[in-house]
Chain A
Amino acid sequence: SFELTQPPSVSVSPGQTASITCSGDKLGDKYVCWYQLKPGQSPVVVMYQDNKRPSGIPERFSGSNSGSTATLTISETQAVDEADYFCQAWDSKTEVFGGGTKLTVL
């Protein structure tokens, strides 16, 4: 079955750039969404169709997808960006989530 692999954790200093990867077989041939999940809150979509930002998502969030890896990049990372991030892709009539990456801003 199709699987998406994310690093369990990523750390970044405030103001620096954070990159969160998501790997899967021929992932570049699929569209990827990214979700942000903070404790006690519902998930929020921060990227769809690889690199499109929903309204209300800051411009410092960007995305790319090529080959077997999709990447969510957060520029000028702020403390408010500390959260779990999940990638998602569609395969064989199933939505698949990655295992999630905990972004720590320190």
Chain B
Amino acid sequence: QVKLQESGPGLVKPSGTLSLTCAVSGGSLSSSNWWTWVRQPPGKGLEWIGEIYHSGTTNNNPSLKSRVTISIDKSENQFSLKLTSMTAADTAVYYCARGKGTRPYYYSGLDVWGQGTTVTVSS
């Protein structure tokens, strides 16, 4: 059974950089899945941040422009998120998730999620 666990700082200063890691257990990052980051600001909906395939191919949310970097470390079985130029608007619960399969015909959605980690942007 695949499990995901986010780790990282709970507090980031304005203009700083957020670095989060998602440890994957019970499965391999080399499987045909998309490893994904999603966030939920307080009182708001879900926002897709981006994803990475085991090949290193990434897709990111255009609204976050060049602030997002997603990387993968298959030797450690983890993937990571870096988000630069943090502002209060980036305060959210950040989730890592597995996007199972490949699009369009073999994708079955984000089927495994981490528990989420709360990130607050404040000085």
A99 an interface residue at 8 Å Cβ cutoff?
yes
* Cβ contacts under 8 Å, A49 to chain B: 107-108
B95 an interface residue at 8 Å Cβ cutoff?
yes
List A62-96 residues whose CB lies under 8 Å from chain B: 84, 86, 88, 90, 93-96
Nearest-CB residue, chain B, relative to A96: B48
Q: Contacts A1-B62, A48-B109, A52-B108 known; A42 to B48 CB distance under 8 Å?
A: no
| A100 with B45: CB separation less than 8 A | yes
| A97 with B108: CB separation less than 8 A | no
Q: Contacts A42-B114, A42-B116, A88-B109 known; A35 to B62 CB distance under 8 Å?
A: no
Tell me how far the C-beta of A30 lies from the nearest C-beta in chain B, rounded to whole angstroms. 8
Q: Contacts A35-B46, A96-B48, A97-B45 known; A45 to B107 CB distance under 8 Å?
A: no
* Cβ contacts under 8 Å, B103 to chain A: 31, 90
Tell me how far the C-beta of A101 lies from the nearest C-beta in chain B, rounded to whole angstroms. 10
Tell me how far the C-beta of B96 lies from the nearest C-beta in chain A, rounded to whole angstroms. 10
Chain B interface residue count: which class?
Answer: 20 to 34
Tell me how far the C-beta of A42 lies from the nearest C-beta in chain B, rounded to whole angstroms. 4
List B25-65 residues whose CB lies under 8 Å from chain A: 36, 38, 40, 45-48, 51, 59, 61-63
Q: Contacts A43-B46, A97-B45, A97-B47 known; A33 to B110 CB distance under 8 Å?
A: yes
A105 an interface residue at 8 Å Cβ cutoff?
no
Q: Find B45's partner among A45, A93, A98 (CB 8 Å cutoff).
A: A98
14 inter-chain pairs at a CB distance below 8 angstroms, sorted by A residue, are A35-B110, A37-B40, A42-B115, A48-B109, A49-B108, A52-B108, A54-B108, A54-B109, A84-B45, A88-B110, A90-B103, A97-B47, A97-B48, A98-B45
